Structures are given as C-alpha cells and as structure tokens.
Chains A and B, each alone.
Chain A
Amino acid sequence: MLCVFFSPRMASGMQEKQYTPSLLSFFIYNPKFGPREGEEEKKILFYHPSELDKNEKIRSVGLCEAIVQFTRTFCPTKPAKSLHTQKNRQIFYEPEEHFWMVMVVRNPMIEKPNKDGKPPTIEYQEDEILDSVYGAVLQQCYSMYKLFNGTFGRAMEAGGVEMLTQKLEKFFYRYLQTLHLQSCDLLDVFGGISFFPLDKMTYLKIQSFVNRVEQSLSLIKYTAFLYNDQLIWSGLEQDDMRILYKYLTTSLFPRHTEPELAGRDSPLRPEVAGNLLHYGRFLTGPASLKDPDAKIRFPRIFVNTEDSYEELHLIVYKAMSAAVCFMISAAEDLTREFCEQLDSLVGPQLTLLASDICEQYNINRRISGSVLISLTLRQTPRKCLALLALLSSNKHTIGAHIKRNICYFDSQRSQACALFQYSIYTI
C-alpha cells in the first residue's frame, strides 16, 4: 500500500509567461540504410518538421545513433530510451529491429521579464516532463501507424523504402497534428480501456446478439461492442483492442457525434429519417447505401502482427449510443449486398439493445464522487509501482489509494502482469 501526500505548488508570478511542452521534432530512421559516409540522408525515413535543413536532420539522427551506441557499451540488449538536456527531452523507441522513432519535446519553461529592458530570463523546468508519459505517447504513435499500415518491415517487403516513406509521410503528417503533448498524462501511460458497467442479463443479451450476428454473417472474424464510448465485449486480442479503442474514442466517434446531437427528426439525417425501422448507420465505409455510385470501401486494419499478421476490413456500425465493430478478412470482397444484409440484420436489433442498455444503465447508475477504473496492464510490478508514483504526482490528483493490488505472472507472454483496481480522487 502506498499513500502519498504532497505539498501544494506555488502559484506562478504575475508577469511570468509559462510555456507548455511542445513537439520540436519527430523522426524515424534506420541506421542500416546509409552506412557509408555521405549517404547519411538515406537513413532518414521520415522527419518532421520536413522543411528543416538536410544537415540539421543528419546531425540530430547522428546524435541519436551515438547515444544508442554509447549505452550499448554498458548493456548491449537495453539501449537508451531517453536523453535529457537542459532545453529538451528526446525519447527513443525501436519498435522493429533497426527502425528508430525519436520524439524531441521541448521542456516547459517560464519566461521571467527582466527590468531595464534586458531580454527575459528563461527557466527550463527540466523535471516536469516524465519519460514514462512521453515514451507511452511515442509507442502509441507506432501502434496507431501499425494498426492502419502494418509493420515497417512488411511495407519494405512490399514496396521497398519508397513505399515505406510514402506511408509514413501520409500517416504521420496528419497524426502528429493530433498529438496534444501539453495534455498528455497518466492515462496515456496506461493506454487503458474503460469498460462499461453492466448487469448480467443485459451483458448476456449483448453476447447473444454478437453470437447471432457472427453466426448469420460468417464472414465476420472479430466483433467488438461499445456503449457510450466504453467497451462491453471484444473478440480481439487485448493489445490490438487497446489501440483500436483509442482510435475509436479519440478519433472516429468524436467525428460522428454531431448528427446525433442534432436530434432524430433533424433534416441533417435524411438517411435515418427514411428508415423508420432503426437508427443504425455505418460510421466507416459508404456514407449512404442508397447512393448506387458510392464505392463500398472500408478502412483496413492490421492485427496480430506478431504472429498471424491479419489484414482486416473495419466496419463500424452505430445505433444511438451503441457501436459495434465488425472485422472481416481483407481477402474478402465486400459488396453492397453484404452491407445491406448487415444493415437490415444488425440495425433493428442494435437499436433495441441500445435502448435496453440505456434503461438498465439508468437504473443501476450510482452517483459517486470518485472515478473507478479497472485496468489490466502488461507491465512489470516495478513499473506498476512507478506508475503509481506517477499517479500520485498527476497534477489533477490530490490523493491516490490502491484498493487492491494483485500481481500475477503471465507465463504465456513470460511477462509480469499486474491487475490494479484503484480510485483516483480528482479535484
């Protein structure tokens, strides 16, 4: 058990300007791609900001290589993970052999104005940034890339360096804009899934719904069921589900909330108004099944990249607050007929189920002052303790208390796992 008290921070002065951490650069390189002198540029697969001078890029990559090589002197198997300097923090991650991802974050700083017209003094808050948080953010970047593009290695096999750099460019150009480094915290480290609390009967109803759909549409390989942005049922491996969950809740769902907020009779939802049987609609794929010219295309995702390496179509279907993800092998050709069949089968049932869940949820809802999250973490016990220290230092947390702390060893993955149940009391 760990109980921590800490002192309140001093409020900053009146005229001081505070700067939050920001992304200075982000790059991916492979030291094997330009081993000879003068070919260093070939090592760089992606560099943000791209407009930076070529020599500058080569220099920063060179530094990372040197740091990694240097730490190998002391432990060949565990190279550097981060570099702390006065002004910034560099995080290193080697997701695949020889492929390095590096994120450089500027330390938060305080600008104190000086009298007599002197330039302001800048004070870097070097200890504000936590390696664990930004390390997790960087890993998430890779996982997200991998979810939609597969591994670096596969891209190399398919189309060489050109294909890989194209893919990286396309994905990270947009993805980096969505990184909000100033608001990264503990929850990024957990990368956890929030589960929806539910009574047994309703849970069984959902399970039976999933089974029936999978039975009727045998193409479906995996299914995941969410309500109110919280997970209820998933057939995917947990690591894949975690990143998919992250994508659904932070990217896909927020983009599709507006039509529902507009109300069911709103003219903004003509396709729903036309179908009086249910409120179901596709969040991915065709905007409307009625339009004969619309192409039937779903986003592809890559799961189980460690072993079977499956490429899947991702179909996300939503009715009211309930959302279901259907995953179908990418080898299958999805036709309009299939989509119509799915719509007519799932739509009415999901609408009913959604209102059932809503009803049950309202009955069971307890008003509680604390947020209770259960998480499973693929972390070593030592790391878990570190996470707890982090928890206690989270700015929004005034105290943390672990309710139960069960550590067990997952022999299959030969990795220690810990199951935590804890509550965070927020201000």
Chain B
Amino acid sequence: MFYSRGVCWSSGCEKQGDVSPVENHIHCDEGQPQTEEGSEAACPGISIVTDGFADSAPGDVSGGPASCEGEEHTHLDSQDTHLDSEDAHLDSEHTHLSAEQALDSASGEESQEDSGEFVAAMLARSRLEEQGLGVKGGSPPLADTGPSPPPPGLHRDEDVTADAWRAHRKHVFVLSEAGKPIYSRYGSEEALSSTMGVMMALVSFVQSGDNTIRSVHSDQHTVVFMQQGPLVLVSVSSSGQSEQQLRHELRYVYNQIVSMLTQASIARIFQHKKNYDLRRLLAGSEKILDGLLDLLDCDPSFLLSAVHCMPLASSLRDALSHVLQKAITPNLVFSILIAQGQLVTIVQERTVIEDARLEPADLHLLLNLIGASSAFQAGEIWTPICLPSFNPDCYFYAYISYLDPPSCSVCLLLLSTDKEAFYAVAECKRKIEEAMLAQNALAALAKARPYSATQVGVSDLRHFMYKPFDVPDNHRQLTQFTSPEMESPYSSEAEKTRLLDLYRDLHGRIHSTSRPLKLIYHVAERETLLAWVTSKFELYTCFSPLVTKASSINAITKLLRWIKKEEERLFIRYPPKYSTTPNPSRTRKAPEHDATDNGFLSLL
C-alpha cells in the first residue's frame, strides 16, 4: 500500500503563490508535488472526503498522487502493488466544496490553510484505515468495486430512540452556538439534531437571563454544559462522577478539537458564518474523539492530569534519552518516545521554549491521536497539530512513526515548528532508529513490563496510584504518576471500571471546590480505600476489605518508602533538553553541555 511508505502532507502553495487556500497532498516523492499542485490549482477549494453526510456532491477526481515510485523504505516495498487501485479509490471519494463554501470556511489566512491541511490529513488517515482493513485481510481492493460508502462508525448508526442508546454510560455532544450538531459519541448527529437543538435552546435561554447554565441533575444522570468560544459541549453521564470531573473531561474533548483546528480558526470560522457546519472540517476525525472518550473512561491519567510513564531501568531510559538528544534538526522542539501507549522518555528543545514545558494534557492528546488511529502503524505521518495548553492558536508539525513494525508498540513522535521540515525530521528518525538498533534498545523496550502491586511487598495492598508534585528544585517537571498493573480481582473490565469509579469518587471528594478533603478512609463493599493528598503527593490506595485503619496507614508508609527507592525506575526524573539553534557548530556541542546541566550525566 502506498501509505505504508509514508504519507506526507505538505503544502507547496506558498511557493507557487497559489490562490487555493488549502492544499493537501498525499505524495511520496519529491518530484511529484509540483505537477499535482498544478492540477489542483485549477479548482480552488478544500478537498473534503464526505463521510456520507456532508452536503457536497461527489465531485471531480483530482489532487491525488499520481504515482508513488521511489520507495526508500525497503521493508515496505512488498505492499507497493496495491498502490494504484488504492489511489483511484481515494480520488473517487474526493469531493470539492464549491468556491463559495471554501470562502466561507477558509478566508485565505495562513492558519486556515493549516486547518484544512490537517483535516485532509485526518481524512486520508481514516480513509486509509478503512482501506487498510480490506487489503490486510486479502480481500480485493475496494477500488475494484467502485467507490463504496465508508463503513459506518461503531456507534454512528445507532437508533437514538432505543433503550440501548439511553443506556450508554456517558454521552458527549458537541454543537455550535447556532445549534448545529458537530459531534455525538453515540448515534448520528442528524438523528440527534433536535436533541442538540434543545440543548442549545437551554443554554441560550439561561443566557438571556444574564446567567449561565452549569448542569442538570437527575437520579440517574448528570448533564454538564460547557461553553467554549463558539462551541457548546454537553456531557450526559450516569457514571456518578462529579460535575467538576465531567467538566474536566469536556475540556479534553474541546482541546482535542482545538488540536485539529486551533482555537483562532474555530473562532474565525464562526465569526464569518454563524451556522457553519464544522463537521465539514472534522469529518473523519470522529474516531479520534471516540478514542479520547474511551480513554477518558478507562485511563486514570486524565483524572490525575498526569502522565503515566513506563517503568524502566534508569540506565536504559537515559540511554534512550541520549539517542533522542543526538538526533536533532533545526526547529525540532520535542522528541517523544512511546512504548505500549506509555511514555518512555521526552526530550525538549531548551531555547525555543525556555520556561515552558509540555503539559500532561497536551501529551494525553498526542497519545490519544496515536492510539486512535491504526493508520499510523503504516509508515511515516507528517501532520500539523496544535497543543492547546501550550498555545491554542498555533500549529506544531508532528512526525509520527513506529519503530518496530509490524508489532507497532514503540512509537516515535517528533514535533517541529517548521512546516517544511518533514525530510529533515525523517532523517532524525533514521538516526534514532540506527542508534537504537545499535544498542538493541527495541528488544529491551519489548521486555519492559508494568509492575505488580505485590512487588511492593505489602500484603493487603491491591493497587495504588501515586502522583508526586513538582520536586522542590527549580526544574519544572512533567507531572507524572505511577501505578501498578490492575491484577486479580481487578482483571476483568467490569472490575477495573468499578475500581476506577471508586477512585473517581474519592478524587471527586478530595478535590471538591467547596468542601475539599485531605484524607479519606473508605470501607467499600469489596475493598478498603485510602486516599491522601499532601503538599508533596497525591495517593490513592486500594486494600483488601479486612484491613484495619492502623495497618493501612502502616502499609502506606512502607509503600512510600518503596516508591522512594524505585523512583529512578518509575519516573522520568530530569527530562533532558537539547538545543537546535541553526548554528551547526553550536548544535553539536549543546546537547553535551545541557546534559551536564541537567545532572543527566551524573545519573548515568
């Protein structure tokens, strides 16, 4: 498949001075873009792949890659045969908005281009996935049977009047101020447009009384409303979570949308046309929001606003950091290595972002992006992405590639500020790959396993979550937490959810805005939990039900001692930095120097 070689979206329109506000390409060879752009320039507009609900009609075939010769990555060559048919299919699915529509959505400003570009990236991504399934399964390429409607999303075509729809634990809706549906977790937006209309009516009715709606509570559900700029987000949950927690989750959903479009361009779009259908720009990205919501339900890192980093011998982690530190190029700002969905190490440019750091919230969005799309497993991805907590109005360019196909557990993520840096960044990846191969790091990473609570050596301790606060020295660290694997009796999904619910409940009480608590000792039906927050850490523990208060306090003391001992392994202690100033001579020296500064070498 052509996409397995590497899918790169870059826009050459500045070079050409093209009138087209947005151009997106899927190209594989340096030579190709020029000609493609030529053909696209004839039809200015955003290329949008409809997912069956955008109101544009299937249109002309253009903008697709003409050829994908020139493979560099030998391990993927075998799949090239499918290339042409895939392309044909892709093209036939492309439709063009009319020039008017394009004007509405994109008024020719630069960030607008970016958003369009991103959308295209997303579109192609989802498209690729859908096709990928067919190809991998050995079925004939979809193109053979002509353009077929895209397979419906998992919950998209649910009957919204059925009990099964009502029974979902948590619904999330996103709508525009004009009441236009943008996203619904379950059921199609069309079927829910009246429900969303009511939501908007409620919001604006309360607003008309110079007031703001917050939430509605019933015996079973909590409905939380949140307005963010021109978007209204609504969560309807029967999970028993606090209003605050639900609001926190909605903020993630909003940020994920911002990460695709940027806040400024969302604002601009709606300023220009109040009833714009944002789904045109988000088409294909529902999967990412779906994935985010699933993660929110099952991953405590969102609850704790901290990153779960993979437990790893500090020598290995430092060696990997060192590899990342070496492979740099101008404008590279973050190098992130992820294994099995957990953070291995993160290295950041020091001068560009002097006193900033990557917020856990942004990292969560990145992790979700990678996890939500299996298309990333197929090669190299170059996509604009906005990190809302860092700066909601500008894009970074993310290079995403797996280092260990086909198992696809180790993922490299390089963030650059330069739109054109794909080849330079890809070169960094090659260096990293080589260095890791030399050190046999992949094998070492594959061996890394989450630890078990029994390793702590405290009987009755079943599970815990420990989140230290910033260390007293002046390093502004990435907020992290550590937690063992959920083992029996929490091995089944239902039990995992139950334990997480208990944690959420404790968390909600500890962080209640009006009545915060410091320590909770809670004897539940099947376990005993103790939650404790101090100025240095936040800790949630789960014990067997028969533990006594005294023994649990005792156990916590032992646990804290164990964590202290294992600190090097459980956390990234000093996130290393590098310098990518344009001067190559400085660049070469800088990492060494920085490392000493950070105490990095002293750790080795």
Contacts and interface: CB of A to CB of B under 8 A. Distances in A.
Contacts of A6: 515-518
B519 A86 contact: no
B202 A66 contact: yes
Contacts of B223: 70-71, 74
Contacts of B205: 63, 66
B78 interface: no
Contacts of A4: 517, 519-520
A85 B214 contact: yes
Contacts of B214: 84-86, 126
Nearest to B523: A1
Nearest to B198: A70
Given A3-B549, A85-B211, A70 B216 contact: yes
Interface string B480-524: 000000000000000000000000000001001111111111110
Contacts of A127: 512-515
Contacts of A80: 216-218
A177 B549 CA distance: 48
Contact of B216 (A3, A67, A87, A128): A67
B518 A81 contact: no
Chain A residues touching B, range: 35 or more
A369 B476 CA distance: 50
Given A73-B195, A84-B217, A5 B519 contact: yes
A4 to B, nearest CB: 6
Contact of A85 (B212, B512, B517, B519): B212
A85 B217 contact: no
A5 B520 CA distance: 7
Contact of A66 (B198, B217, B514, B521): B198
Contacts of A1: 521, 523, 549
A339 to B, nearest CB: 47
Interface in A1-17: 1-7
B273 to A, nearest CB: 27
A83 B216 contact: yes
Contacts of B218: 71, 75, 78-81
Chain B CB within 10 Å — which of A73, A83, A131 has the most? A73
A1 B519 CA distance: 14
A2 B171 contact: no
Nearest to B221: A74
B215 interface: yes
B213 interface: yes
B206 interface: yes
A84 B171 contact: no
B366 interface: no
Contacts of B515: 6, 127, 393
B583 interface: no
A217 interface: no
B303 interface: no
A71 B216 contact: yes
Given A66-B202, A83-B216, A85-B211, A75 B518 contact: no
Contact of A87 (B211, B215, B217, B519): B211
B541 to A, nearest CB: 15
B552 to A, nearest CB: 11
B236 interface: yes
B455 interface: no
Secondary structure of the B side of the interface? mixed
B247 to A, nearest CB: 11
A344 B523 CA distance: 57
Interface string B257-300: 00000000000000000000000000000000000000000000
A389 interface: yes
B171 A74 contact: yes
A83 B214 CA distance: 8
Contacts, number: 102
Contacts of A389: 509
Contacts of B557: none
Contacts of B166: 73-76
A82 interface: yes
A49 to B, nearest CB: 16
A5 B202 CA distance: 39
B219 interface: yes
Interface residues of B, number: 38
Interface string B509-550: 100111111111111000000000000000000000000010
B156 to A, nearest CB: 18
A180 B11 CA distance: 67
B474 interface: no
B512 to A, nearest CB: 7
A84 B198 contact: no
Interface string B196-208: 0011011001100
B216 A82 contact: yes
B216 A7 contact: no
B202 A67 contact: yes
A291 to B, nearest CB: 53
A68 B190 CA distance: 23
B517 A5 contact: yes
Contacts of B509: 389
B212 A86 contact: yes
Nearest to A1: B523
A84 B220 contact: no
A393 B205 CA distance: 33
Interface string A3-34: 11111000000000000000000000000000
A195 B130 CA distance: 70
A268 B561 CA distance: 75
B36 interface: no
A111 B359 CA distance: 35
A125 interface: yes
B243 interface: yes
A165 interface: no
Interface in B109-127: none
Contacts of B522: 2
A81 B217 contact: yes
Nearest to B160: A73
Nearest to A79: B218
B195 A131 contact: no
A88 interface: yes
Contact of A78 (B199, B219, B521): B219
A377 B523 CA distance: 21
Interface in A42-92: 63, 66-67, 69-71, 73-76, 78-88
A107 to B, nearest CB: 10
A125 B514 CA distance: 8
A128 B198 contact: no
A301 to B, nearest CB: 30
A4 B522 CA distance: 9
A52 to B, nearest CB: 13
Given A2-B522, A78-B218, A393-B515, A85 B202 contact: no
Contact of A81 (B211, B219, B517): B219
A79 B217 CA distance: 9
A2 B518 CA distance: 13
Contacts of A66: 198, 201-202, 205
Chain A CB within 10 Å — which of B202, B211, B217, B512 has the most? B217
Contacts of A76: 166
Nearest to B171: A74
A17 to B, nearest CB: 19
A399 to B, nearest CB: 12
Interface of A: 1-7, 63, 66-67, 69-71, 73-76, 78-88, 125-128, 131, 389, 393
Which 3 pairs between the two chains have the least Cβ-Cβ distance?
A: A127-B514, A86-B212, A84-B214
Given A74-B221, A393-B515, 18 more contacts: A2-B523, A3-B520, A5-B519, A6-B518, A67-B216, A70-B198, A70-B199, A70-B216, A71-B216, A71-B221, A75-B166, A79-B218, A81-B217, A83-B217, A84-B213, A127-B512, A131-B217, A389-B509
13 contacts: A2-B520, A2-B523, A3-B521, A5-B518, A70-B202, A74-B220, A74-B221, A78-B219, A78-B221, A82-B217, A84-B217, A85-B213, A86-B214
